[in-house]
Structures are given as C-alpha cells and as structure tokens.
C-alpha cells in the first residue's frame, strides 16, 4: 500500500472491508478478534 492508497482509505472512511479501531492505551484483545475474524 502506498501513501496515496492509504489517504484514499482514510478519506472514504469505514466500509464493509475497512474498520477503524482506536488503540490509545495499547491494543485491546477485541482488536485481534476483529482482524482475525475478517480473515476467515
């Protein structure tokens, strides 16, 4: 992924294929569950 593609994803926002997670105090376990659940 290059910078232009990344900026495009940020501009479009969340979709059925993209979900943003907030990890201000470290990565929570539900972040891994979400990422792994989408790969199956």
Report CA 12 to chain centroid distance, whole Å: 13
CA dist., res. 19 & res. 32, Å (int): 12
Q: Can you give the pLDDT at residue 35? A: 67
Q: Can you give the pLDDT at residue 36? A: 65
Contact between residue 22 and residue 14 where contact means Cβ atoms under 8 Å apart: no
Q: What is the pTM of this model?
A: 0.53
Q: Can you give the pLDDT at residue 38? A: 53
Mind listing the pLDDT tens digit for each residue in 1-38?
Answer: 899 999 999 999 999 888 887 777 888 777 777 666 55
């Amino acid at each position: 992924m290059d910078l232009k593609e990344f900026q495009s994803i940020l501009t479009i926002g969340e979709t059925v294929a993209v979900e943003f997670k907030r990890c201000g105090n470290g990565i929570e376990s539900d972040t891994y569950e979400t990422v792994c659940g989408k790969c199956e």
